[in-house]
Structure 1
Amino acid sequence: MRPTLTALRAWEPADLERRARDLDAEATALFAAVDVADTRVRDTVWSGVAAAAAVDRSDRERSVAATLFGDWEAAAAALRSGSAEIGAAREVALGVADEAAERLGFVVSDSGRVTAPVLPWVGVSLSANVIRILVGECARWYDARIAAALDAVDAADRALALALREIVGDPAAPPVGSTADENARYWTGLTEDQRRTVLAQHPARVGNLDGLPGRVRDAANRAVLDADRRECTQLLERIEQQGLYRETSGTAGKLALIRASAARARLEELDAVAAAIADPDRRLLVYRGGGEEIRAAVAVGNVDTADHVAVYTPGLNTTVRDDLDSASDAVAGLRDDAQRQLVDAGRADETVAAVVWLDYRPPQVSADDPAGAVRDAVVDLGLTAAARSGAAGLGDFTRGLDASRPDGVHLTAVGHSYGSTTTGIALQTGDIAVDDAVFLGSPGVGTGDVADLGLPPGHVYVGEADGDVVADLGAYGPDPSTLPGVTALATNDGPFGGESRGHSEYLEQGSTSRHNVGAVVAGLPDGAVTSPATR
Structure 2
Amino acid sequence: MFSVLQIRTQVLIHDGDDYGKVMPVEGWSGPAADDAAAQHKAHMQALDAYAAGAAALGKAVGQASDAIVAVQTAIYNADELARKYGFEITDAGGITDTYAGRQPPPELHPEDRERIHTQLVDEIAQILRTADDIDTDLASVLDRAAAGQFGTGDESTVAAAAADGLAAPGLAPPEPPPNATPSQAAAWWATLSPAERDLLIRDSPGTVGAMDGLPGSARDKANRTVLAQQEADLRRQREEIQRRMDGLKMSDPQQQNQHHDLQVQLDRIDGRLSELDKVSQALAQPGGRQLLVLDGGGDHLKAAVASGNVDTASNIVTFTGGFGSSVNGDLLDYDKRMDQIRQDADDMAARYGHGGKSAAVTWMGYDAPQSLDVLGTGKAEAGAAKLAPFLQGLDASREGDPARLVALGHSYGSTTTGIALRHAGVDAAIFAGSPGIDTGNITDLKVPPGQSYVLKNDGDPVATSGWFGKDPADMPGVHHMSTDRSFPTDGPPLEASTGHSSVNEYLKPGTTSQHNIAAVVADAPTQFTLQDQPGFEYHMPGRH
* TM-score normalised by structure 1 residue count: 0.68
- 2:452 is the alignment partner of 1:469: no
SS in structure 1 opposite 2:454?
Answer: strand
Spell out, residue by residue over 1:441-475, the C-alpha distance to the aligned partner (whole angstroms, 9 max, x if none). Answer: 00011111222223232111000111111111110
Instruction: Write the distance in 2 (CA, Å) between the matches of 1:480 and 1:69.
Output: 60
Give yes or no for contact 1:287–1:296 (8 Å, CA) kept in 2: yes
Q: Distance in 2 between matches of 1:16 and 1:285?
A: 51
Contact 2:53–2:150 (8 Å) recurs in 1:
no
Deviation at 1:24, TM superposition (A): 6.0
Match of 2:273 among 267, 278, 283: 267
- CA offsets 1:485-512 (integer angstroms, 9 cap, x no match): 2101111111252111111111101111
| 1:218 corresponds to which of 217, 220, 227 | 220
8 Å CA contact 2:56–2:150 kept in 1: the answer is no
1:173 and 1:202 in contact (8 A); partners too: no
| Cα deviations by residue, 1:365-400 (Å, 9 ceiling, x for unpaired) | 2xxxxxxxxxxx2xx333301111111211100110
1:237 deviates by 1.8
1:398 corresponds to:
391
1:388 pairs with 2:381: yes
| Contact 1:300-1:332 at 8 Å conserved across structures | yes
Corresponding position of 1:421: 415
Q: Which has the larger radius of gyration?
A: 1
- 1-side partners of 2:386 and 2:449: how far apart? 25
Hey, what's the Cα distance between the residues in 2 that align with 1:27 and 1:453?
A: 54
Give the aligned residue type for 1:416: H
1:208-248 superposed Cα distances (whole Å, 9 cap, x missing partner): 10110000000000000100001111211222233257839
2:4: which partner in 1? none
Distance 2:378 2:56 in 1: 62
Corresponding position of 1:74? 144
In structure 2, the CA distance between the partners of 1:490 and 1:25, relative to structure 1 (3 Å rule), is closer
In the TM superposition, residue 330 of structure 1 has moved relative to its aligned partner by 1.2
1:252 to 258, 262, 282: 258
Aligned in 2, Cα 1:530/1:265: closer, same or farther, shift over 3 Å? same
Q: Report Cα offsets for 1:231-266 as digits up to 9, x if no partner.
A: 111211222233257839521111111111111111
Q: Deviation of residue 522 (structure 1)? A: 1.0
Q: Does 1:209 align with 2:201?
A: no
User: Take 1:475 and 1:16, find their aligned partners in 2: how far apart are those partners?
Assistant: 79
Structure 2 residue aligned with 1:21: 50
Whether the 8 Å contact between 1:415 and 1:423 is mirrored in structure 2 is yes
1:529 aligns with 2:532: no
Displacement of 1:480: 1.2
Alpha-carbon deviation of 1:315? Answer: 0.5
3-state SS of paired residue (1:470): coil
Q: 1:83 to 1:299 in 2, by over 3 A?
A: farther
Structure 1 residue 411: Cα displacement: 0.3
Q: What displacement does 1:193 show?
A: 1.1
The one-letter code sitting in structure 2 at the alignment partner of 1:275 is Q
Distance 1:394 1:209 in 2: 13
Quote the RMSD (CA, aligned, Å). 3.1
Which residue is equivalent to 1:480?
472
AA of the residue aligned to 1:444: G
Q: Cα distance, 1:200 vs. partner?
A: 1.3
Cα distance in 1 between the residues matched to 2:54 and 2:166: 23
The structure-2 alpha-carbon separation of the partners of 1:326 and 1:19, relative to structure 1 and needing over 3 Å to count, comes to farther
Residues 1:341 and 2:335 aligned together: no
**Of 332, 344, 366, which aligns to 2:339?**
332
| Paired position in structure 1 for 2:291 | 284
Once the two structures are TM-superposed, the CA of residue 296 in structure 1 deviates from its matched residue by 0.6
Secondary structure of the structure 2 residue equivalent to 1:414: strand
Give yes or no for contact 2:293–2:304 (8 Å, CA) kept in 1: yes
Question: How do 1:231-250 residues align onto structure 2 when only pairs under 5 Å count?
Answer: 231-242=233-244, 243=246, 247=250, 249=253, 250=256
Q: CA shift at 1:289, angstroms?
A: 1.3
Instruction: Call closer, same or farther: CA 1:270–1:244 in 2, change over 3 Å.
Output: farther
Q: State the 1:201 CA deviation.
A: 1.5
Distance 1:182 1:214 in 2: 16
Distance 1:412 1:516 in 2: 13
The 8 Å contact of residues 56 and 165 in structure 2, kept in 1 or not, is answered as no
Percent identity, aligned pairs only, is 39
Deviates more, 1:496-505 or 1:384-393: 496-505
CA distance in 1, matches of 2:240, 2:46: 45
SS in 2 for 1:390: helix
Number of the residue aligned with 1:502: 499
Q: Is the 8 A contact 1:27 1:68 kept in 2?
A: no
Cα 1:465–1:80 shift into 2, 3 Å: closer
Deviation of the 1:344 alpha carbon? 1.2
User: 1:70 and 1:468 mapped to 2: Cα distance?
Assistant: 66
Tell me what 2:361 maps to. Answer: 355
Looking at structure 2, the residues matched to 491 and 333 of structure 1 have their Cα atoms a distance apart, in angstroms, of 18
Task: Deviation per CA, 1:84-113: give whole Å up to 9, x if none.
Answer: 5x99xxxxxxxxxxxxxxxxxxxxxxxxxx
**Who is 1:172 aligned against?**
174
